[in-house]
């Protein structure tokens, strides 16, 4: 009897644990959808009339790695930025959910490449807590590669750029431009993601012909248009139609939201709810659809400091940031956040890559105040000979 009771308790604990993990994962996914479209709208408003393309996963993963090393107000801001306010879990449970999600993403699928890599690049003299590096490795698989920002900042920049290029199949080049790494740089947190998938239903290249693409009410141009016909998950309402086109293996798909009004994109952008779209594709029925899709290649890059700030993140950009779980380095702050992305869509499938870097730096030690608001003496010296060339005093303001 006792054994039966113990077995029953054990099974209950296992089921409860699995349920808790699913709930955490679900909450993080919901947050991810909300974050993705909130970030989309922010980038869209800053790039009026222009293409945008980015990896929400790359940005959120790099930011989560940073959040792992924060505490207090700084951690709260990053949680809010990533939209984790919709889940009431403590931060460590969010990192556990991220770990589980990344494990699923890493599972191999035939005819599809999907790799995500994270790395910490601290300066050789930067005091990075062992507990932080251990947890970063545990939750995000991020190795640590110490480099000499102080003595060889240009070589350090090349090392990071080469790492990103290698992990994105050379699609993301020169991620950190010249001058972006200085002797004041303390650490770079980097994420790289690469994807290549083959359409489950390919487009026949012989069906690709030039078609008219309407840019706005006054502008249209001919571009290569691919065509196919098959059963896809499809739904429509008064504002837009949505279609999901899977890649071989069904581990990934492209979802396209098409406004019903030819020039109605801007009117629906801010109304879009990522979790509503997710529901449409999860529960929508399969319908035979004739698809016409542009064949295109696109690149996009952005510095995201202003974007983070407009979405509520302030403290990481000042020396008042709380990185108490990462380092005891004083005057440490995030000086730059960069994102770069690439996509090519053709008859065979899709190739895409992106990278995100968060650069941490330090300021010079706070100096004593030196305010020349009363009479003073001054001189000019020739340094090599130590001869005073000019000498004087300043007692009263002159014109």
Q: What is the pLDDT of residue 33?
A: 85
Q: In this model, does residue 161 exceed pLDDT 70?
A: yes
Q: What is the CATH number of domain 17-366?
A: 3.30.497.10
Which band of pLDDT confidence, cut at 50, 70 and 90, is reported for residue 15? very low
* Confidence (pTM): 0.85
Q: Largest Cα–Cα distance in the chain?
A: 100
What are the b/e assignments for 336-349, b being 16+ CB within 10 Å? bbbbbbbbbbbbeb
Please say if the pLDDT value at position 1 is more than 70. Answer: no
Average pLDDT along the chain: 81
pLDDT tops 80 at residue 8: no
Whether 380 shows a pLDDT value over 50: the answer reads: no
Mean pLDDT across the stretch 110-125? 92
Question: 3-state class of 181 per DSSP?
Answer: coil
Residue 138: φ, ψ to 5°? -65, -45
- Evaluated on CA atoms 363, 364, 365, 370, the torsion sign reads negative
Strands 143-144 and 112-122: parallel
Which pLDDT does position 369 carry in this prediction?
A: 39
Closest CA to 354 of 363, 346, 344: 344
pLDDT at 247 exceeding the cut of 50? yes
- pLDDT tens digits, residue range 193-205? 998 889 899 999 9
pLDDT one-digit tens code per residue, 54-92: 899 999 999 999 999 999 999 999 999 999 874 555 788
- Tell me the average pLDDT across 384-398: 36
pLDDT at 26: 58
pLDDT winner (highest mean) among 160-169, 221-230, 245-254, 372-381: 160-169
CA distances to 12, 25, 100, 101, 225 from 19, in Å? 10, 10, 14, 15, 46
Provide, rounded to the nearest whole percent, the portion of the chain with pLDDT above 90.
Answer: 38
**Would you place residue 363 in the very low, low, confident or very high pLDDT band (cuts 50, 70, 90)?**
low
């Amino acid at each position: 009897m006792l054994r039966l009771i113990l077995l029953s308790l054990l099974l209950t604990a296992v089921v409860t644990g699995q349920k808790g993990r699913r709930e955490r994962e679900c909450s993080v996914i919901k947050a991810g959808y909300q974050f993705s479209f909130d970030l989309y709208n922010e980038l869209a408003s800053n790039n009026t009339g222009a293409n945008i393309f980015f990896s929400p996963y790359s940005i959120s993963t790099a930011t989560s790695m940073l959040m792992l090393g924060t505490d207090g107000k700084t951690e709260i801001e990053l949680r809010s930025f990533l939209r984790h306010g919709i889940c009431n879990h403590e931060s460590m449970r969010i990192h556990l959910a991220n770990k589980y999600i990344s494990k699923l993403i890493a599972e191999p699928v035939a005819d599809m490449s999907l790799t995500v890599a994270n790395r910490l690049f601290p300066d050789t003299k930067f005091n990075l807590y062992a507990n932080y590096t251990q947890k970063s490795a545990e939750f995000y698989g991020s190795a640590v590669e110490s480099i000499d920002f102080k003595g060889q900042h240009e070589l350090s920049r090349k090392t990071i750029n080469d790492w990103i290029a290698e992990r994105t199949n050379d699609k993301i080049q020169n991620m950190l431009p010249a001058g972006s790494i200085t002797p004041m740089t303390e650490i770079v947190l980097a994420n790289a993601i690469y994807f290549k998938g083959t359409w489950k239903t390919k487009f026949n290249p012989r069906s690709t012909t030039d078609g008219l693409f309407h840019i706005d009410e006054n502008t249209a141009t001919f571009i290569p248009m691919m065509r196919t016909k098959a059963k896809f998950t499809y739904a429509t309402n008064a504002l837009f139609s949505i279609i999901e086109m899977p890649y071989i293996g069904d581990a990934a798909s492209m979802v396209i939201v098409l406004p019903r009004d030819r020039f109605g994109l801007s009117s629906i952008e801010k109304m879009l709810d990522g979790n509503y779209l997710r529901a449409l594709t999860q529960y929508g029925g399969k319908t035979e659809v004739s698809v016409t899709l542009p064949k295109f290649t696109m690149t996009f890059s952005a510095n995201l400091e202003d974007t983070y700030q407009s979405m509520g993140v302030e403290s990481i950009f000042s020396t008042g940031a709380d990185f108490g779980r990462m380092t005891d380095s004083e005057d440490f702050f995030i000086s730059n956040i960069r994102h770069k992305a690439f996509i090519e869509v053709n008859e065979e499938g899709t190739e895409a890559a992106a990278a995100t870097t968060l650069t941490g730096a330090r300021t010079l030690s706070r100096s004593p105040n030196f305010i020349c608001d009363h009479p003073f003496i001054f001189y000019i010296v020739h340094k090599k000979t130590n001869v005073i060339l000019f000498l004087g005093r300043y007692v009263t303001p002159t014109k």
